[in-house]
Amino acid sequence: MAGDLTHINAAGEAHMVDVGSKAETFRTAIAEGKITMQPATLEAVLSGNAAKGDVIGTARLAGIMAAKKTSDLIPLCHPLLISKVSVDITPDWELPGLHVIATVSISGRTGVEMEALTAVSVACLTLYDMAKALEKGMEIGSIRLVSKTGGKSGDYSLGG
């Protein structure tokens, strides 16, 4: 299995992949996650009645900032000149909770899957932090890559 992992060299040691000879292509990654909470907590978040202020706006900014800092957090990720990051946070009364989707784009030599996943993760953590005074039992979950385009490995789409 280690032979299939790009961040492991022949000696079994972790290393940063050399992307210098790869072609620059336009790449996009979309990731999603969710945070579940009690209906009263969701109502308070949506109405702006959380003690810390604008929960969703703050989480959106945190996700964007996190995407830009991914290489500082994940040891073998390349620092990237990201061209676009968007973080959308929408209520889902069936959970109940909030659904987070991050889209990251770049024209470069490596993908942005980790940046999209990091954006979702940090946005969810920020939602928790901003609303924890209302409820400590919120649950973060289902963080996953939804799709990615571009690059040598081709396109990927969840369920397809």
Q: Is 17 within a domain? A: no
Q: Is 143 within a domain? A: yes
Q: Is 156 within a domain? A: no
H or E stretch including 133? none
Query: What does the block give as tokens for 110?
Result: 């490596």
pLDDT the model gives residue 51: 78
Question: Does 75 sit behind a cis peptide bond, omega within 30 degrees of 0 on the bond before it?
Answer: no
Domain count of the fold of the chain = 1
Percent with pLDDT over 70 in the chain: 88
Q: Is 47 within a domain? A: yes
Confidence check: pLDDT of 31 > 50? yes
Q: Rounded to an integer, what distance in angstroms lies between the CA atom of residue 112 and that of residue 70?
A: 10
Q: Higher pLDDT residue, 108 or 16?
A: 108
Q: Is 10 within a domain? A: no
Domain containing 68: what range?
23-151
Q: Is 6 within a domain? A: no
Is 92 an annotated catalytic residue? no
List 4, 54, 72, 129, catalytic entry = 129
Percent with pLDDT over 90 in the chain: 71
Q: Is 57 within a domain? A: yes
Q: Which of 2-11, 86-95, 99-108, 118-127 has the lowest mean pLDDT?
A: 2-11
Q: Is 90 within a domain? A: yes
